[in-house]
Each structure stands twice: as C-alpha cells, then as structure tokens.
Structure 1
Amino acid sequence: MTEKKLSVDPAAIEILEGPVCQEVSTAFSRAEAMKPCPIGADGRCCKNCAMGPCRLTKEGQVGICGATLEVVAARNLARAIAAGSASHSDHGRGVAMTLLAAAEGHAPDYKIRDIAKLTRVAGYLDIPTQGKEVNELAKEVAEEALAQFGQQTGEIIYVKRAPQKRQEIWRNLDVAPRGVDREVVEMLHRTAIG
C-alpha cells in the first residue's frame, strides 16, 4: 500500500493494515493495482448506446452518433450526477418509508421521540400541526415527503429552503427542481442515444 491515508477512523485503519487485509483483496488494494483507462479517465469514452463504445482520442473526432468530445463528456457527467442523485435520494426515501411504517405501527422497534423536529419538518412541508396526535402528524409528514420524490410538475416544496437568491436564479432559468425521480429519469432520457 502507498502512504495514502486509507481512513480517518482509527479502527478502520487498524483493520485495513492488519494481517487479514494483507491476505484478501480490498477496494484499496484493487485501486492501487488497477491502472485506470486514460481514455475513460479523461471522459473521452462513450458507452451510452449499442453502436459503441466510442473512444474519442483525436481532436475533432466524433462518435458514431455524431457526438463531439464535449457532448460525450457532458453526457457522462450528467449520467454520473443522475446516478449519484438516485443513490442519495433513495436514502431519504428509506427514512420517509421508515417514518411511515413507525407512524402506522408497522415498525415496533422505531419510536418517534423528537416531536419538536417532527413539527419543524411538518412546517417545512406546509402541513398544519395544531391538534394532531404524533403518529397522525408523522404519517402526514412521511406521505408528503414520499410524494415529493415523484412530483412530476412544478417545483418541490423544499425549494423554499434554499437561499432566496438561489430560488430566483432557478426560477429565472426554469430549473427549479421537480421530484427527484422525475429529474433523474429526464436526465437519463436526455443523455441516451439510439
């Protein structure tokens, strides 16, 4: 292994540098042994359709579909962002589904303890809180949060949590986000070919 620090966690470092990890392959040892493809590392490889893959190695070269290096790099970046957004948003969906299960009594190991936070989140989602029992409010919060994931048109409620100037920029450019599921699907659709 190189002198690169593998983790900030002392326990993880102890395991990674210990005898067991010297005998098995880890992501770190594989990364050190793997020489990245220079064409792919530079964003010059397109695998977005069945006509390729296309390797754009010369100035002015285009892919089979006619995509320039700039288009290929932009598509690759956009698709990576969509994949990351899908991955991270699904963590939030899991939290909302767990909250819903707890509110409905289907997750007996989970209890709603921070009522102040639940009330605050309900406020972010424009859900009235007055006179509601905790599980009733939690169910409404979870259902509204889940609805935000698939919102097809119009901006999601959480846009208002961004700084006012940022909201204005998004609205002026007509890019205020809809539901994340909609945005990810559109990004993949727009960057697909063939």
Structure 2
Amino acid sequence: MRRLDRRAFLATGTAAATGLALPALAQGVPDTVQMEASLSSTTRRNTASFHAQDWRPYFSNLRNGAILVDIGSRALHMWQEDGRHYIYPSSVPQSEDLTRRGRTRVVRKVVGPTWRPTPNMRRRNPEWPAVVEPGPDNPLGSHALYLSWTYYRIHGTHDDRKIGRRSSSGCIGLYNRHIAQVFAMSKVGTQVLLI
C-alpha cells in the first residue's frame, strides 16, 4: 500500500480543482440533474460551484417549465413541467451595472436570430455594425429566447471561450448545443428568474 505523502495529496487536489476528478463531483447529485461530463477546459474550473437546486423556493409551480439563472455560479437551471432538472454552464454579464435580476418570461423563440446592438452598445462601440444577420459571426449563436425585458436574451454563442465567464453585455449565453436543448424544452411563457 502506497503512503499518501504531501506531493500526492497536492496532485490529487489539483486534479480535482481542474476538473480531472469530474465524476466525483457528480456523487450525491440527484439522478434528475443532467450535467455534461465533457465540459471545456474554460468551464471546468467553474463546475465546483454547480449544485442541484430545488425549484420550490423560487417558483410556485412548473407550468410551462422554469428557468433559473444563478449569476454567481454561472449556471442555468431548467425544470420541465414533470420536474426533470437540467444544469448548463453559462456566460453572465461582465459587470453588476449590466446585470439584471428578477422575474421575467420567454416571450419569443427564434432559430437563427438576427442581432442588433443596443443603443448603449453602439455608443460604446461605434464601429460595430447596426445589424448582424444569422451565421457564424452572429453573437446570438444558433438560437435565442427573447425575454419580456427589452434587449435581454438567453442565447447561444459561437465563441465557446465566453461560457463560464463574466463576458456578456447583459444576456445569458450558452453553448450552441445547450441552447438548442433549452430552446426545445422552453415554451413562450416559460418562467425565468435571474438571481
């Protein structure tokens, strides 16, 4: 039997911190939580902050499903009406002044959205185009859920480096493969809460 020395202990801790021990992270997480094991290296460091949430403190029911975005842990939680729960790593706003918290809902769903920078974005970045059509250069990625708050979206991104970071101008970003899943499960009227 090998003796556990300081070097081995530190190597084990480093492996856990970098996500190499990801299967151990899932121990004790309910089976209803769906987490992708093959997270990118960018988001691996944030997986320790993912934890199962119970929807009941946040929503009175799951009619039309429910989405909770935890800004602090950079995770989007989704519950379907039958209670199935999914967790996705997300990007969140760059700063507190760009962050909006509270209750809203999905008011529109768009595959291949067109992006129009807000007036404030155009003032800060006058070189930006007024419109970006769907495609690989579109900051909204492949799908977008439009919220009842003007200019706020839950959308995909073609830039995977943004996920797991404070990198947006107010929206919540997901990998394109994840927004496609959330998009399919969402309805117009799905409840959304940002905390």
TM class, shorter-chain normalised? under 0.3
Larger Rg: 1
Q: TM-score, structure 1 length as denominator?
A: 0.26
Structure in which a larger fraction of residues adopt helix: 1
Q: TM-score, structure 2 length as denominator?
A: 0.26
User: Greater relative contact order: 1 or 2 (C-alpha under 8 angstroms, separation 6 or more)?
Assistant: 2
Structure in which a larger fraction of residues adopt strand: 2
